[in-house]
Chains A and B, each alone.
Chain A
Amino acid sequence: MKDLSGFDTKTGDTALVYRRVDMILSSNASGEVMEGDCLLLETGRKPEEGELALIRCGKVEMLCRWEGGAVDDLLGLVIGVRRKI
Chain B
Amino acid sequence: MKLYEMTACEAAAALRKKEVTSQELTESVLERISGVEGIIKGFITILESEKILQEAKKIDKLLAEGKKLSPLAGIPMALKDNICTQGIPTTYASKMLENYRPSYDAHVTEKLKEAGTVLMGKANMDEFAMGSSTERSFFHPTRNPWDISRVPGGSSGGSAALVAADEIFFSLGSDTGGSVRQPASMCGVVGLKPTYGLVSRYGLAALAPSLDQVGPLSKDVRDCAMVLDIIAGHDPRDSTSAKSKDNYVDYLGREVKGFKIGFPKEFFGEGLEEPVKKVIMEALAKSEQLGAEVDEISLPKTPYVLPCYHLVVSAEISSALARYDGVRYGFRAREGDTLSELYRQTRSRGFGSEVKKRIILGTHVLRTEHYDDYYWKALKVRTLIKQDFEKVFRDYDLIATPTSPTTAFKLGAKNDDPQTVHSRDNYTRAANLTGIPAISIPCGFVEGLPVGLQIMGRPFEEGRMLQFCYALEDMLGVKGYKPEISVEGGH
Q: Do A and B bind each other?
A: no
Q: Which residues of A contact B (CB under 8 A)?
A: none
